[in-house]
Amino acid sequence: MSRFLEGVGASAGRALGPVRWIDWDIPLVPHRTIRPEEVEDEVERFGQARAHALEYVGHLQAETTRRIGTFEGKVFESQAMMIEDPDVVQGTLRYIRDNYICAERAFEWQVMEMRIRMQEAAHAMLVDRLADLHDVRVRVLSHLLGHSDPSDLVVEGEEPSVLVGAELPPSMAARLDPEHILAVVLSGGSRGAHGVILARALGIPVVLAVGSQLQSIEQDSRLLVDGRTGEIRVNPSPQEVEGFHRAVAQASHRREMLQKLAGRPTETVDGVHTTVQANLDLPHEVQEAVRLGADGVGLFRSEFLVIGRREVPDEEDQYNAYRTVLEAFPGREVTLRTFDIGGDKFPLFLALPPEDNPYLGWRAIRICLDMPDLFVNQLRAAARAAEAGNLRLLIPFVTTVDELKRTRDLLMEVYASLGMVDGGTRIPLGLMVETPAAVETLDLFAPYVDFVSLGTNDLTQYVLAVDRGNAKLSKLYDPLHPALVRMYRRVAEQSARHSIDLSVCGELAGDPIGVAVLLGLGYRKFSVALTGLPEIREIIRHVSTKDLKRLVGQLDRAESGEDIRGPVRSYLADRGALAEQASVGLSEE
């Protein structure tokens, strides 16, 4: 009989396959004392193990860069820093020399201390790096103990399967083959963990934070996994399996049909033209966006330039990255979001303050304005790249008008430094509406912005007081909660009143029911993840904005998100706009 488990979706996609448990660890490290005359031999052994680990990490970085991309390769820089960390090295040497213990036990103790410090700091970025620390620990100890490389666990030729375990170390993730590893399910982890980032880049579905219930999965089980919703079926029924295969076949056929329509305008049945743009994480994704017929880029995330870096990114590197995307969309909008770091995304070069709640702390525009060297580099690169196309700058996590004013002042200084005072491209400046403060004071921001973009992800968690990374609260995280729908309406009305260009770049724009609701509220520009772009364009071609405006208006007194979803779902089904979904949830029960 099938059972239902739930975690947090971290990499979209569906998969069905047998379980393959991984135990990324080594046997208990023996406690072995040494004689004084053996101390220097142990010191040398430790140095050789570190050298081996550094060489292997360098190999992994080069191979990952070649196979996946430059940004993905940089995730191994943090491991190199851990291997060379003075506290780790000197602490291990002290244990060897002062306590006369073997190198492997001394290193194990030092890593244990470092792990405790990271856990006690309770900072999202440090927690994300625990998998890196474990990776380093296993690699150094494996060499000292003469064990084989644990990474070989996932590259042996076995049948395609679903990888299940506590966490996904980066060195293992970098060697995953999507032909053999269909999905990854973890009891812990986080979206910002390097192993999860690598799996996502490989297109492998990931569900994390399943918790202790993962231990109930037996070795011979089969799993039906949805990496978008975080839903898992253990030993799915024949009907569920049949539904999965049918939906996969239909999705493949649907993709082929949608590809043929990629060059057509995206208009509703009542003739309303819409703009459907792409969300990009990395410059090389732009080719896929062009192939899918995106109307430009509505959200170009710039964090790939800083995550895993030991120093502030070079202006020239940024300029080349921005220009690459602009040249792929000549004349069309490319909206670059300035560094949205902090929260769960802290680069290595930042001095890390201890914060109880980093999502409400030092992040995004707050960091950029406090670190003008970092921000001015980005603004200079953007201003130079803007000469090659239609670039716009989107500022995240804004809560005060002063933050926008200071950003404009910095831009003017950049123009002056580049000799653009009397000419040259002026970059439109936009506000990312993702805080209640931005919603409530949009009229005050209006004189200082050229456009606004609704960020539904953070706005949802801030309005509903729900951590979107907490699997236990997933049912409460509802971007169609009536409070939020009313806010979306207010943003649309204020934008129209002040003649501000309006778009949506949050995940709600990639949800068929969500985009239908937004169309009914007056939104006409959407930025969507590449995987959902063809489907959203097709949804829009099936609906009438007049019908949706009337329908959403009738739902103004809805008491829950499901009260809104139900009627909109029925409308889309009646219009033939909803493709059959390979859901692994409880909808059939």
How does pLDDT run across 177-216, given as a tens digit for each residue?
898 999 999 988 777 778 888 888 888 999 988 988 888 8
Q: For 44, how many CA atoms within 13 A lie in the half-sphere containing its CB?
A: 5
- Which of 346, 268, 287 minimizes the C-alpha distance to 544? 268
Q: pLDDT, tens digit, for every residue of 129-162?
A: 777 888 888 889 988 988 876 665 555 556 899 9
Is residue 542 within 8 A of residue 263, CB to CB? The reply is no
User: What are the residue ranges spanned by the domains of the chain?
Assistant: 3-20+161-173+180-214+221-244, 36-146, 272-540
Q: Is 31 known to be catalytic?
A: no
Judging by DSSP bridges, how do beta strands 206-208 and 8-11 pair with one another?
antiparallel
Q: pLDDT at residue 40 above 90?
A: yes
Percent of all residues in the chain with a pLDDT value above 70, rounded to a whole number? 86
**DSSP conformation class of 128:** H
Task: Please report which helix (H) or strand (E) contains residue 275, including its range.
Answer: strand 273-280
User: What angle, 0 to 180 degrees and rounded to 10, lies between the N-to-C axes of helices 86-99 and 39-67?
Assistant: 160
Q: For 328, how many CA atoms within 13 A lie in the half-sphere containing its CB?
A: 24
Q: What residues pair up with 33 in beta bridges, in sequence order?
A: 101
Choose between 396 and 128: higher pLDDT.
396
Of 21-30, 345-354, 479-488, 493-502, the least confident: 345-354
Is residue 236 within 8 A of residue 222, CB to CB? The reply is yes
Confidence of residue 359 (pLDDT cuts 50, 70, 90): confident
Q: pLDDT at residue 512 above 50?
A: yes
Q: Residue for token digits 């590809």?
A: 259
Angle subtended at Cα 131 by Cα 129 and Cα 132, rounded to the nearest 5 degrees: 65
Of 279-288, 290-299, 450-459, 546-555, the least confident: 279-288
Q: Does domain 272-540 have CATH number 3.30.1360.20?
A: no
Is residue 63 within 8 A of residue 47, CB to CB? The reply is no
* Most confidently predicted of 137-151, 265-279, 469-483: 265-279
Of 123, 134, 143, 194, the catalytic one is: 194
- Which of 401, 394, 341, 413 minimizes the C-alpha distance to 370? 341
Percent of all residues in the chain with a pLDDT value above 90, rounded to a whole number? 51
Q: Is 59 known to be catalytic?
A: no
Tell me the three state secondary structure of residue 210: coil
The pLDDT mean for the chain works out to 86
Q: How far apart are CA 326 and CA 334, in angstroms?
A: 6
Classified by CATH at the fold level, domain 36-146 comes out as Enzyme I; Chain A, domain 2 (1.10.274)
Q: How far apart are CA 159 and CA 166, in angstroms?
A: 21
- pLDDT value for 586: 33
- pLDDT value for 427: 93
- pLDDT value for 49: 94
CB atoms closer than 10 angstroms to residue 271: 8
Angle subtended at Cα 462 by Cα 437 and Cα 491, rounded to the nearest 5 degrees: 45
Tell me the three state secondary structure of residue 434: coil
- CATH of 3-20+161-173+180-214+221-244, picked from 3.30.2180.10, 2.60.40.1180, 3.30.465.10, 3.50.30.10, is 3.50.30.10
Calculate mean pLDDT across residues 385-392: 94
Give every strand in the sheet of 231-234, ordered side by side.
Answer: 3-6, 231-234, 222-226, 14-21, 161-165, 181-186, 206-208, 8-11
- Which of 117, 125, 135 minimizes the C-alpha distance to 192? 125
Choose between 113 and 570: higher pLDDT.
570
Show the 3-state SS of 504-536: ECCHHHHCHHHHHHHHHHCCCEEEEEHHHHHHH
Q: Which residues 6+ apart lie within 8 Å of 137 measured at CB?
A: 107, 108, 111
- pLDDT value for 341: 82
Q: Is the pTM of this model over 0.75?
A: no
